[in-house]
Structure 1
Amino acid sequence: MSPSILTPRRALVRARWGVFGTFAGVGFLSAIWLVNIPDIQERTGTSHAVLGGLILLLGLGALVSMQFTGLLIRRIGSRASCSLGLGLLVITVNLPGMATDAVSLGIALFIFGLGHGITDVAMNQHAVVVEREYGRPIMSAFHAFYSLGGALGAVAAAAGQSTGLDLAWILFIACLVGAAAAASSVPALLSRATERRLETGTSPVSLAEHASPVRDTSGRNRRRIVALAVMAFLILLSEGAANDWSALQTVEHLNEPEAAAALAYGAFAGAMTVGRLLADRASNALGPVRVVRYGSIMAGAGMLAVVVSTFYPLSIIGWTLFGLGLSGIIPQVYTAAGAAGRSDSGKTLARVVSCGYVGLLAGPAIIGWLGGMVGLTLAFILPLLFCGFGVLLAKAVAPGKDDGVADHLRSIPASSSDR
């Protein structure tokens, strides 16, 4: 095989591992902050209510930066955007530990959120390009590495806390680890020139040789993007609700001790990670529409079990099914969003990711508000209903004729109902 063929293949494999490292690095830095929230709250003297409002500033910062990241990607490429976002995350992960009051903590979280927003859009955009050129589904594995990075961050933070290490040192060490991850991952990503050639389907080194030029012309395509944005909002709202309220729902509904209730969240989070590691194989074999449709049905069945269960093991099974069902949906949505807006995929993906992020932030608040009125168990009927939208909108993730995705992705067998 000639070097002219080997080089792009090796570059693509290298870029894939660079994206893995980027997702893992962001997950690691996110977990370091989350696990140290109690210590940061004590140091700044903030109440639960005030802290909840300050955490929303992190989300606001992410949403603000997401709005211009699409333009940033168009100007400098997703690799440089990833580098900028990761650099900001690495530096600002120290800021919450330096905060002395609510005001300084709010400023720190807003700046930290800016880095999150840039990196979230840029790394997903690069993942879309790499997956498209691979010619087979690999997006779910990228999201699984985010979960794995988060698990490593939680373990590292817990180890530092158990040894009595000061918060400032924990965050500084995390900063060094994040910097090392960025330094090893970002250079492996595709260059801006290569990414642009692949985006337009004109690259002589593209592995998707039969990609079609994109025609973002129809109202049908705009409706598809809206459907993807709605799905991202509803599914991530459901995921955010489970992240924050699964353990407390188990205590409230089943009168289980906190240690047993923690397994409810553990079952959900573990199932999400395992599901993301397996979802690419499922998408390759069944197609993205079926992954979304059957995943939504599985998640709905799991949430139904949680709502009606009076038996602890059944509730754990319900949370596991809910996590497995949701795990593969968002990667399919992001892949489809990047393909649907290929003429300006960074901007399109930023819009869909932004909608998903709003859902992730809104989920805990909405379920908490409903839970205060009708109880958490009845409040979880809302995510159950949202799973139905996953079934109804599943066709939006089907590769379209104008997507420019590899022919392989369109050749995956699907029933007539999936088209």
Structure 2
Amino acid sequence: MLPTAPPTVLPTRARAATAAAFATQGLVFISLTTRLPDFSDKWGLSEVALSGLLLVLVLVAGAGSVVAEKVAARRDSATLLRAGLLVMACGLPTLVLAGSQAVFVAGIVGYGFALGLVDAATNMQGVAVEHRYGRPLLPSLHGFWTLGGLVGAAVTLATATLPLGATAALAVVPVVVAAAPYLPRVHTPPDPDAVLEEAAVPWRPIVLVGAAMVVFYMVDSASAAWGPLYLEDVVAAPERLVALATFPYLLASLVVRLAGDRLVTAYGAVLVLRVGAVVAAVALAVVVAAPTWPVAVLGFTVLGAGVAVIAPLSFSAAGRIAGGDQARVDAVVARFNQFNYAGALLGSVLTGLAGAGSLRVGFAVPMVLVLALVPLARTFAAVSGPAPGATAPPPSAGGSVSSPAGAAHRRRSRPGR
């Protein structure tokens, strides 16, 4: 009897599964963060205590990303992602249904650890799927995170009168998505301990790309953490409208991310990033100088469009520069994900410290820093081409790049070094 081939996953199915995982991550994260006032009321948390718990969440998520890097050398990202989603499904109801503060903190730790695993693994899957297609896909995949976040915000608004425990019902979503057909790793490294040998991985350009992602998360976290307070305290927006610092920002980001695949294909990652950096700086200048709250809202909205594709292109660049087999790419992406948390912490802290006297000064900090993306963008030069060794799907699986033009495009592309 002839041996049967192992089951394969079509790139189109893996792409849909990865998009669902990104959307799930955004849905759960925003559903929880928009419930922070409810958590504060339930446990009588001061602003300092709440900030401390958020710091714990970020640090534990960073630890989850470190674990993901270690596991990636031996297990594929599909397995890691499923495990992270299931841990998330346990952590979510634990923290919203907790009957004591100890259980509540345990739930935060569990969810934070799962967040780090899922954050790293979704980007591993995204890079792998993008490499299979041989063209930019991560901008639109990250767009599904934003879409999930918008749905999460809408769910919170629709269920605002329900008890906090009702949020636990969302745990079913990561359970269902964990069963999706993710892309398996084809080859296992012969020596997992040597996957990230310093001589093999070009860390210098990866760190430069990481610096770009730190800048993005500094801007993004500054907008999320301090934008509503800016509208209320600096430009006297009505209290019921302070969410306008976030919601239009997410909408603009979603639109640009969903269009980002085609933008990068047409104009290249370098130009897209440089234009986005300038747009973001202008948008933050509008925020800093805004005489009224509608002008500030306009600034935050344009800001969302300007910075939308920085994070996905950063992961794409890191995976491409890493080169080598999928195990090494996965491990590099997991380590690279830690720039995410560094930027989030720096953005919240620097904007708050600089804005202690006036948040106008606070937002002037990211306004200047975002321009660092203009020189850093050259590190992304190889992102718009297919990865070395990429296998394009057949026409029925989302389009072929086996045409003469596609072949010429592949010959012009080289891994970044």
Common fold: TM-score over 0.5: yes
Asked whether 1:170 is paired with 2:167, we answer yes
Question: Retained in 1: the 8 A contact 2:206–2:321?
Answer: yes
Asked whether 1:278 is paired with 2:259, we answer yes
Q: Which amino acid aligns with 2:184?
A: S
Question: 3-state SS of the aligned residue for 1:193?
Answer: coil
Give 5+ residue unaligned stretches, structure 1: 1-6, 197-214
Which aligned pairs between 1:68-107 and structure 2 lie closer than 5 A? 68-107=67-106
Question: 3-state SS of the aligned residue for 1:137?
Answer: coil
Alignment match, 2:58? 59
Question: Retained in 1: the 8 A contact 2:134–2:386?
Answer: no
What's the offset of the Cα at 1:254? 1.8
From 191, 199, 204, give the equivalent of 2:184: 191
Asked whether 1:361 is paired with 2:357, we answer no
Counterpart-to-counterpart distance in 1, 2:294 and 2:45: 37
Counterpart-to-counterpart distance in 1, 2:261 and 2:347: 26
Q: Call closer, same or farther: CA 1:309–1:40 in 2, change over 3 Å.
A: closer
More deviation, 348-357/309-318: 309-318
What's the offset of the Cα at 1:47? 1.5
Which aligned pairs between 1:331-342 and structure 2 lie closer than 5 A? 331-342=312-323
Paired positions, count? 385
Asked whether 1:181 is paired with 2:162, we answer no
What's the offset of the Cα at 1:152? 1.7
Q: Which amino acid aligns with 1:234?
A: V
Question: Retained in 2: the 8 A contact 1:23–1:142?
Answer: yes
Question: Retained in 2: the 8 A contact 1:276–1:328?
Answer: yes
| Deviations, residues 210-250 of structure 1 (Å, cap 9, x unaligned) | xxxxx98589x322011011111121111010012112212
From 279, 287, 303, give the equivalent of 2:284: 303
Alignment match, 1:377? 360
More deviation, 113-122/23-32: 23-32
Considering only aligned residues, what root-mean-square deviation do their CA atoms show, in Å?
2.9
Alignment match, 1:156? 155
Question: Retained in 1: the 8 A contact 2:131–2:386?
Answer: no
Alignment match, 2:335? 351
From 215, 218, 221, give the equivalent of 1:234: 215
Which aligned pairs between 1:237-252 and structure 2 lie closer than 5 A? 237-252=218-233
Asked whether 1:399 is paired with 2:382, we answer yes
More deviation, 266-275/87-96: 266-275
Counterpart-to-counterpart distance in 2, 1:126 and 1:137: 13
Alignment match, 2:268? 287
Counterpart-to-counterpart distance in 1, 2:204 and 2:254: 31
What's the offset of the Cα at 1:100? 4.3
Q: Which amino acid aligns with 1:155?
A: A
From 294, 300, 308, give the equivalent of 1:327: 308
What's the offset of the Cα at 1:191? 1.8
Counterpart-to-counterpart distance in 2, 1:337 and 1:235: 15
Counterpart-to-counterpart distance in 2, 1:218 and 1:91: 38
Q: Which amino acid aligns with 2:236?
A: N
Counterpart-to-counterpart distance in 1, 2:172 and 2:408: 43
Alignment match, 1:3? none
More deviation, 250-259/105-114: 250-259
Question: 3-state SS of the aligned residue for 1:315?
Answer: helix
Counterpart-to-counterpart distance in 1, 2:293 and 2:407: 41
Question: 3-state SS of the aligned residue for 2:178?
Answer: helix
Question: Retained in 1: the 8 A contact 2:17–2:177?
Answer: no
State TM-score, norm by structure 2: 0.85
| Deviations, residues 372-407 of structure 1 (Å, cap 9, x unaligned) | 1x3111111111111111111001112189962659
Asked whether 1:42 is paired with 2:25, we answer no
Alignment match, 1:264? 245
Counterpart-to-counterpart distance in 1, 2:271 and 2:232: 34
What's the offset of the Cα at 1:252? 2.5
State TM-score, norm by structure 1: 0.84
| Deviations, residues 187-220 of structure 1 (Å, cap 9, x unaligned) | x111232798xxxxxxxxxxxxxxxxxx98589x
Q: Call closer, same or farther: CA 1:137–1:409 in 2, change over 3 Å.
A: farther
Alignment match, 2:409? 411
Counterpart-to-counterpart distance in 2, 1:411 and 1:313: 45
More deviation, 381-390/93-102: 93-102
Q: Call closer, same or farther: CA 1:260–1:39 in 2, change over 3 Å.
A: closer
What's the offset of the Cα at 1:36? 2.1
Counterpart-to-counterpart distance in 2, 1:402 and 1:33: 37
Question: Retained in 1: the 8 A contact 2:74–2:188?
Answer: no
Counterpart-to-counterpart distance in 1, 2:60 and 2:44: 22
Question: Retained in 1: the 8 A contact 2:31–2:152?
Answer: yes
Question: Retained in 1: the 8 A contact 2:354–2:365?
Answer: no
From 285, 291, 297, give the equivalent of 1:316: 297
What's the offset of the Cα at 1:101? 4.8
Counterpart-to-counterpart distance in 1, 2:322 and 2:387: 8
What's the offset of the Cα at 1:178? 2.6
Alignment match, 1:143? 142
Question: Retained in 2: the 8 A contact 1:340–1:403?
Answer: no
Higher helix share: 1
Counterpart-to-counterpart distance in 2, 1:144 and 1:108: 28
- Structure 1 runs of 4+ aligned residues shifted over 6 Å read none
Counterpart-to-counterpart distance in 2, 1:284 and 1:103: 50
